[in-house]
Structure 1
């Protein structure tokens, strides 16, 4: 019998990051609707545009599957849409038919990870899920349910903090050069609007990671580099922070 698992991430980078782990479970990406398990078909939009918005990305999940496991990974396109995305999906796919639900988001610096967790729990409570009492824990209900807040469920930060640790192992030269490049920027030549994103708490880390990915995959989005390059491999899987993510996924999708 196939186990169906549903994972929601804050953005497309989070989704590709998690997919890097899922390849270790023998899962393959589904690229054709004809090959998709019919269980997930209600999540595939049937019309375009969405809500009359020609600029809005079609919110179709990424699907991976093998003979025993089928996973849908859904980008919520922002933290404010996490609970809404889950609610909308569970309105058309019964939660009782899902083996595990995982939620992956950033800690950032506006709220503590615990505050962000408490807020999300309050938003999800009306859905009747077996919600975890603590960060990083997966409740063994039906379905299982867990929340992971990057980088490690306790410290402020983002996905980029995890990628920086991976870059230290696999791309040390690119990391050093990118860090020096970002640090050497003459901000006097830039406007406040130019610096709006860079001056955010995670801005410089994001700039460093984007600089590395622009060398590895010039002209492509960060999620393409995460998918194609050596951010997550046998070497980086030995990092304590990466092991935390792997353990979380194990508890969400493995029997």
Structure 2
């Protein structure tokens, strides 16, 4: 019997990174709508533009599947959208889900604080019907249930930071020469730009963007995450990547 999982992530970079992990497990990205399992039919928008907004991205999850698993990864459009994205469960027979997981950045807070803040918001804002899914959630763990539930805070369920910190750990291994050059470039960027436009967590994002553009000139960062070796057999043993891999192993198995 196929296992169904629903992942909610902040943005398309997170979705692409999780896709690399699923690819390692021979769970493939679905591109054709006719290949999507009928279980997910009610969360695929049927008309364009969505809510009348021509510029808004259609909120279509990315779907991954093989004979054993069917996984939908819903992009929430930022940290503030994660709780709202939980409403999509209204359109599913969620009692048939094997697992639900949320993924977001720690940014400048300890991961456990981010976890506690997220669960608190969900208890206050999510329909009470769903509270049984996450009310027993434990930081850093996958709680078993129907469905199972877990929260992973990038980069490693412990430290401050973002997904880019996790990716750069891999970059240190597979693109060490490029990283050395990119670090020198970023170091020389004027304080005028840093002080006006950068937040505390911006430097890893800038460094990743410089390297990604060298690897995939003119392409979006998520394309580099999908196509290059930021997450690969060579990098999976790094601290943050091994922790994410362990979390997904617990969730899927």
Specify the alignment match of 2:133 in structure 1. Answer: 130
Q: Give the aligned length.
A: 247
Specify the alignment match of 2:88 in structure 1. Answer: 89
Specify the alignment match of 2:111 in structure 1. Answer: 113
State the shift of 1:128 in Å: 2.1
Offset from partner CA, 1:116-143 (integer Å, 9 cap, x none):
2112112333322332543221110100
CA distance in 2, matches of 1:70, 1:168: 32
Specify the alignment match of 1:172 in structure 2. Answer: 176
> Which residues in structure 2 correspond to 1:48-59 (within 5 Å)?
48-59=48-59
CA distance in 2, matches of 1:42, 1:234: 36
Q: 1:108, 1:157 within 8 Å by CA — same for their partners in 2?
A: yes
Q: 2:168, 2:230 within 8 Å by CA — same for their partners in 1?
A: no
Offset from partner CA, 1:42-70 (integer Å, 9 cap, x none):
11100111111110000100001011110
* TM-score normalised by structure 1 residue count: 0.93
Specify the alignment match of 2:44 in structure 1. Answer: 44
Specify the alignment match of 1:247 in structure 2. Answer: 246
State the shift of 1:247 in Å: 1.0
CA distance in 2, matches of 1:171, 1:138: 33
> Which residues in structure 2 correspond to 1:209-224 (within 5 Å)?
209-224=208-223
CA distance in 2, matches of 1:224, 1:187: 29
Q: 1:105, 1:149 within 8 Å by CA — same for their partners in 2?
A: yes
Task: Give secondary structure in 1 for the equivalent of 2:236.
Answer: helix
Q: 2:155, 2:240 within 8 Å by CA — same for their partners in 1?
A: yes
Offset from partner CA, 1:173-225 (integer Å, 9 cap, x none):
1111111101101234x596xx31xx201111111000000010011111000
CA distance in 1, matches of 2:234, 2:16: 18
Specify the alignment match of 1:21 in structure 2. Answer: 21
Specify the alignment match of 1:158 in structure 2. Answer: 162
Bigger Cα displacement from structure 2, 121-130 vs 58-67 = 121-130
CA distance in 2, matches of 1:134, 1:201: 28
The runs of 5 or more residues in structure 2 that have no matched partner are none
Evaluate the alpha carbon distance shift between residue 100 and residue 133 of structure 1 in structure 2; reply closer, same or farther with a 3 A threshold.
closer
State the shift of 1:4 in Å: 0.4
Offset from partner CA, 1:64-118 (integer Å, 9 cap, x none):
10111100011111000001101x2111003211001111110001x33222211
CA distance in 1, matches of 2:138, 2:194: 42
